[in-house]
C-alpha cells in the first residue's frame, strides 16, 4: 500500500485495503457527534443517535486492531457533546472564518438525544469503555487543556476547556520512547534561538504551571552539581527560561515578513513601536530580533493569505517551551517528569477559513515522537487538512490518511508538497 498518501474515501475503505499487522501508529481526531456538517453525504458525526455514532467509531477501532502491529500505539482525540447544547456551545465562534463547505448543524437536523436533555453525554468515556470491552488496553486518558478555548454563554454550568486524548495499545509491550519527548527540551539539543530584543514577551511566565516546566540543568543531583561547580547556585530553580525551539532561521523569517508586508505599512497598522518592528526586517545578525509571541499574534493577521507557508510560520512562532535551571531530578531514564505527564496544556490552533477543526501540531508531535519509531507508518483516518501528515514528514515518519472531503485533501496536498519535494531532492 502506498505511503505518504491521502486516500479520498471513507476511512473504513482504506482500512480494509491494509494488510494485518501493518501500521506502527494511529493518530486522529474524529468528527465529534452532532457538532458540524462538513457538507457531504456519508460523513461520520451526523448519525441521529450517539449510539450509532459510537458503533461507527468502534467498527473503525476493530479494523485498526487488525492492521496495527503488536508494538503499535493508538491515539484518539475526542470531544464531548451536550444534549441540545451543541448549537449554543459554538454561538460565539466566527462564522466568517468557517469554510463554505462546513457549517454548524442546521436546526432541522433532529438528533435523538435519548431523553437526556441538557446532559453532557460523556461520549468520550462511552467510546473509551467500548474500546476496552473490545480488547484495547487503555494506557492513558490524557487531558488536553485548552486555556484559550471558546467562551460559552451558558450560566448554569462551568465552561468546558478540556478534551480527551486516549492512548491505547493492543499488547502489553509496545513501542514507547519517552526520551524522544524529554531529551530534546531538557538537554537543549535542538535549535534554540532567542529574541535578543528586550520586548521578548516574558509576561506569560506569570501563568506557568511549574510542574510542567522542564529542567535545563545537566546535573542529576546536588552531589553531582557540587562536584562540578565552585559552590552552589544560590538562585537555582528561580529562573524560568522561555524557549522557542521551532523558530525559523533568521533568513526564513525575514524573507517571509518582507514578502508579506512592507515595514512602513506594518508600523501604520499596529501599536508596536517602529524601532521594535524594524528589528524583524534586518538581515544582519546584530540588528535582528524575532517578534515575541504576543507581538507575532498581534500582527500575524495583517500578513496576508493563510496558506501552508503562513500556517507553518505561525506554528513555529507560537511553539514555546519553558525551562528552569533547577536540578534535573528526572534525568534518569524511566521516570516521568511533569513535562511528559498526562496533562497537556496546549492552546487550540486559530481557525482558518480553510478548516475549522484542524488541531495544533504540538498535540500530535508528542504522540508521534513517543509512539512511533522513525521510519514507521502513522495512519490518520480523518486527515482533514493534513496536520498529522505534516508532523510525520517533519519527524521522519511515513503517513497514510483517509479524508472524504476532496476540498480538504487538496489543501493538505498543497501544504505537503514542499516537504515531499524536499524529500525527493535528498
Ligand atoms: C475533526 S476533522 C479532522 C481535522 C484534522 N485533524 C486536521 O487537523 O485538519 C474530521 C474530518 O473527518 C472527515 N470525515 C468525516 N467522516 C469521515 C469518514 N467516514 N472517513 C474519512 N473522513 C471523514 C471530515 O471531512 C473532517 O475533515
Q: Kindly give the distance from the C-alpha atom of residue 237 to the centroid of ligand 1, in angstroms, as a whole number.
A: 43
Q: Kindly give the distance from the C-alpha atom of residue 122 to the centroid of ligand 1, in angstroms, as a whole number.
A: 21
Where is mean pLDDT largest: 32-46, 65-79, 139-153, 347-361? 65-79
Residue 149: the pLDDT is 74
- Which of 403, 407, 410 to probe ligand 1 with, by most ligand atoms within 8 A of CB? 403
Residue 404 Cβ inside 6 Å of ligand 1? The answer reads yes
Residue 29 Cβ inside 6 Å of ligand 1? The answer reads yes
Residue 224 Cβ inside 6 Å of ligand 1? The answer reads no
Where is mean pLDDT largest: 105-109, 215-219, 221-225, 242-246? 242-246
> Residue whose CA is closest, atom 15 of ligand 1?
43
Residue 403 Cβ inside 6 Å of ligand 1? The answer reads yes
Q: Kindly give the distance from the C-alpha atom of residue 404 to the centroid of ligand 1, in angstroms, as a whole number.
A: 7
Rounded to an integer, what distance in angstroms lies between the CA atom of residue 391 and that of residue 241?
26
Confidence of residue 147 (pLDDT cuts 50, 70, 90): confident
Q: Kindly give the distance from the C-alpha atom of residue 141 to the centroid of ligand 1, in angstroms, as a whole number.
A: 22
Residue 247 has pLDDT above 80, yes or no: yes
Rounded to an integer, what distance in angstroms lies between the CA atom of residue 382 and that of residue 401?
7
Q: Is the distance from CB of 240 to CB of 205 less than 8 angstroms?
A: yes
Residue 32 Cβ inside 6 Å of ligand 1? The answer reads no
Lowest-confidence segment of 14-23, 331-340, 382-391 by average pLDDT = 331-340
Neighbours of 250 (CB within 10 A): 16
Average pLDDT, integer, range 352-370: 76
Residue 224 has pLDDT above 70, yes or no: no
Cell of 402: 483517509
Residue 25: the pLDDT is 98
Q: Kindly give the distance from the C-alpha atom of residue 31 to the centroid of ligand 1, in angstroms, as a whole number.
A: 6
Q: Kindly give the distance from the C-alpha atom of residue 405 to the centroid of ligand 1, in angstroms, as a whole number.
A: 8
Residue 367 Cβ inside 6 Å of ligand 1? The answer reads no
- Which of 7, 43, 77 to probe ligand 1 with, by most ligand atoms within 8 A of CB? 43
Residue 392: the pLDDT is 96
Residue 207: the pLDDT is 46
Q: Kindly give the distance from the C-alpha atom of residue 383 to the centroid of ligand 1, in angstroms, as a whole number.
A: 6
Residue 155 has pLDDT above 60, yes or no: yes
pLDDT, tens digit (0-9, with 9 covering 90-100), for 292-303: 998 998 999 899
Instruction: Tell me which H or E stretch contains 242.
Output: strand 240-243
Confidence of residue 192 (pLDDT cuts 50, 70, 90): very low
Q: Is the distance from CB of 298 to CB of 270 less than 8 angstroms?
A: yes
Q: For the chain, which domains are there?
A: 5-178+340-425 (3.40.50.150), 183-324 (no CATH)
Q: Which atom of ligand 1 is nearest to the CA of 10?
A: 20
Confidence of residue 157 (pLDDT cuts 50, 70, 90): very high
Residue 351 Cβ inside 6 Å of ligand 1? The answer reads no
Residue 64 Cβ inside 6 Å of ligand 1? The answer reads no
Q: Is the distance from CB of 312 to CB of 276 less than 8 angstroms?
A: no
Residue 189 has pLDDT above 50, yes or no: no
Confidence of residue 190 (pLDDT cuts 50, 70, 90): very low
Percentage helix, strand, coil, to 5, in the chain? Answer: 35, 15, 50
Rounded to an integer, what distance in angstroms lies between the CA atom of residue 257 and that of residue 300?
10
pLDDT, tens digit (0-9, with 9 covering 90-100), for 110-133: 788 888 889 999 999 999 999 999
Q: Is the distance from CB of 142 to CB of 77 less than 8 angstroms?
A: no
Residue 221: the pLDDT is 62
When the pLDDT of each residue in the chain is averaged and rounded to a whole number, the result is: 81
Residue 14 Cβ inside 6 Å of ligand 1? The answer reads no
List Cβ neighbours of 32 (8 Å cut-off, separation of 6 or more). Answer: 45, 78, 79, 80, 81, 123
Confidence of residue 357 (pLDDT cuts 50, 70, 90): low
Q: Kindly give the distance from the C-alpha atom of residue 186 to the centroid of ligand 1, in angstroms, as a whole number.
A: 35
Amino acid at each position: 500500500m502506498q505511503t505518504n498518501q491521502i486516500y479520498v474515501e471513507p476511512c473504513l475503505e482504506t482500512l480494509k485495503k491494509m494488510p494485518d499487522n501493518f501500521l506502527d501508529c494511529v493518530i486522529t481526531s474524529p468528527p465529534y457527534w452532532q457538532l458540524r456538517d462538513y457538507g457531504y453525504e456519508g460523513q461520520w458525526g451526523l448519525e441521529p443517535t450517539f449510539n450509532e455514532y459510537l458503533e461507527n467509531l468502534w467498527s473503525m477501532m476493530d479494523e485498526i486492531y487488525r492492521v496495527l502491529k503488536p508494538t503499535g500505539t493508538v491515539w484518539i482525540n475526542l470531544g464531548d457533546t451536550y444534549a441540545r447544547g451543541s448549537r449554543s456551545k459554538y454561538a460565539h465562534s466566527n462564522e466568517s472564518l468557517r469554510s463554505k463547505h462546513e457549517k454548524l448543524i442546521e436546526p432541522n437536523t433532529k438528533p435523538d438525544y435519548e431523553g437526556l436533555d441538557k446532559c453532557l453525554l460523556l461520549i468520550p468515556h462511552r467510546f473509551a469503555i467500548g474500546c476496552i470491552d473490545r480488547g484495547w488496553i487503555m494506557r492513558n486518558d490524557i487531558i488536553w487543556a485548552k486555556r484559550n478555548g471558546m467562551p460559552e454563554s451558558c450560566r448554569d454550568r462551568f465552561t468546558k476547556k478540556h478534551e480527551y486524548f486516549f492512548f491505547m495499545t493492543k499488547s502489553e509491550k509496545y513501542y514507547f520512547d519517552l526520551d524522544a519527548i524529554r531529551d530534546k527540551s531538557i538537554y537543549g539539543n535542538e535549535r534554540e534561538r532567542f529574541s535578543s530584543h528586550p520586548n521578548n514577551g516574558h509576561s506569560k511566565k506569570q501563568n506557568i504551571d511549574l510542574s510542567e516546566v522542564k529542567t535545563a540543568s545537566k546535573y542529576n543531583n546536588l552531589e553531582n552539581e557540587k562536584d562540578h561547580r565552585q559552590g552552589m547556585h544560590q538562585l537555582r530553580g528561580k529562573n524560568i527560561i522561555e524557549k522557542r525551539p521551532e523558530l525559523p532561521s533568521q533568513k526564513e523569517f525575514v524573507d517571509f515578513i518582507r514578502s508579506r508586508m512592507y515595514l512602513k505599512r506594518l508600523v501604520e497598522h499596529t501599536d508596536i513601536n517602529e524601532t521594535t518592528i524594524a528589528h524583524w526586517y534586518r538581515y544582519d545578525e546584530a540588528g535582528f530580533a524575532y517578534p515575541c509571541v504576543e507581538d507575532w499574534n498581534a500582527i500575524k493577521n495583517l500578513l496576508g493569505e493563510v496558506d501552508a507557508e503562513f500556517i507553518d510560520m505561525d506554528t513555529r512562532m507560537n511553539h514555546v517551551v519553558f525551562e528552569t535551571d533547577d536540578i534535573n531530578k528526572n534525568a534518569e531514564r524511566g521516570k516521568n517528569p511533569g513535562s511528559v505527564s498526562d496533562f497537556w496544556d496546549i492552546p487550540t490552533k486559530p481557525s482558518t477559513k480553510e478548516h475549522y477543526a484542524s488541531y495544533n501540531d504540538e498535540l500530535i508531535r508528542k504522540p508521534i515522537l513517543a509512539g512511533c519509531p522513525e521510519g514507521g507508518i502513522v495512519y490518520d483516518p480523518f486527515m482533514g487538512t493534513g496536520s498529522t501528515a505534516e508532523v510525520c514528514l517533519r519527524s521522519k515518519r511515513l503517513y497514510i490518511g483517509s479524508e472524504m472531503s476532496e476540498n480538504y485533501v487538496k489543501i493538505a496536498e498543497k501544504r505537503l508538497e514542499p516537504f515531499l519535494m524536499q524529500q525527493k531532492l535528498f
